[in-house]
Amino acid sequence: MTSRFPDSFAALRIPDIRYFIAAVGLFSIGSRALAVVIGFQIYQLTKSALALGILGLVEAVPAIALVLIGGYIADHHDRRKILLITRLVSFICAVALTILSLETHAVPLIGLYAVIFIAGIARGFADPANSAFEAQVVPQNITVNGATWIGSVWIAASIIGPAMIGFVFAGFGAAGSYTLISILFLCAWLATLKITRKPVIKPQHDEPLVKSIREGWDFVMKTPPLWGAMTLDLFAVLFSGAIALLPIFATDILHVGPIGLGFLNASPAAGALAIMLIATRHPPIEHAGRNLLWAVAGFGVSILVFAFSKHFALSIVALIFVGIFDGISMVIRRSMVRLLSPDHMRGRIASVNWVFVCSSNELGTFYGGMVAAAIGAVSCVTLGGFITLGIVGFTAWAAPELRRLRFNPQTLERLP
Lowest-pLDDT range of 126-140, 207-221, 289-303: 207-221
Q: pLDDT confidence of 133, banded at 50, 70, 90?
A: confident
- Top-confidence residue, 298 or 76: 298
| Rounded-to-integer distance, Cα 64 and Cα 217, Å | 14
- State the pLDDT at residue 331: 79
- State the pLDDT at residue 3: 46
Radius of gyration of the chain (CA): 20
* β-bridge partners, 414: 407
Q: pLDDT confidence of 187, banded at 50, 70, 90?
A: very high
Backbone angles phi, psi at 414, to 5 degrees: -70, 135
Q: pLDDT confidence of 201, banded at 50, 70, 90?
A: low
Query: Rounded mean pLDDT of 14-23?
Result: 90
Q: Are strands 414-415 and 406-407 parallel, antiparallel or unpaired?
A: antiparallel
Query: Rounded mean pLDDT of 377-405?
Result: 86
- Top-confidence residue, 197 or 413: 197
- State the pLDDT at residue 175: 93
Q: What is the pLDDT of residues 355-377, one digit of tens each?
A: 776 666 667 777 788 888 888 88
Residue 105 has pLDDT above 80, yes or no: no
- State the pLDDT at residue 1: 39
Q: What is the pLDDT of residues 297-346, one digit of tens each?
A: 999 999 999 999 999 999 999 999 998 998 888 878 877 777 777 766 76
* Whether 320 contacts 401, CB under 8 Å: no
- State the pLDDT at residue 183: 97
| Rounded-to-integer distance, Cα 361 and Cα 241, Å | 9
- State the pLDDT at residue 168: 94
- State the pLDDT at residue 86: 95
- State the pLDDT at residue 152: 77
Q: What is the pLDDT of residues 26-48, one digit of tens each?
A: 999 999 899 889 988 998 888 88
- State the pLDDT at residue 206: 61
Note the CATH architecture for domain 16-192+207-407.
Up-down Bundle (1.20)
Residue 125 has pLDDT above 60, yes or no: yes
Helix (H) / strand (E) containing 414: strand 414-415
| Rounded-to-integer distance, Cα 70 and Cα 83, Å | 11
pTM, rounded to two decimals:
0.70
Share of the chain above pLDDT 70, in %: 88
Residue 281, CA distances (Å) to 30, 183, 247, 322 in order: 29, 34, 36, 22
Enumerate helices (H) and strands (E) in the chain, giving the number of each.
15, 2
| Rounded-to-integer distance, Cα 116 and Cα 157, Å | 20
* β-bridge partners, 206: none
- State the pLDDT at residue 301: 93
Q: pLDDT confidence of 114, banded at 50, 70, 90?
A: very high
- State the pLDDT at residue 2: 44
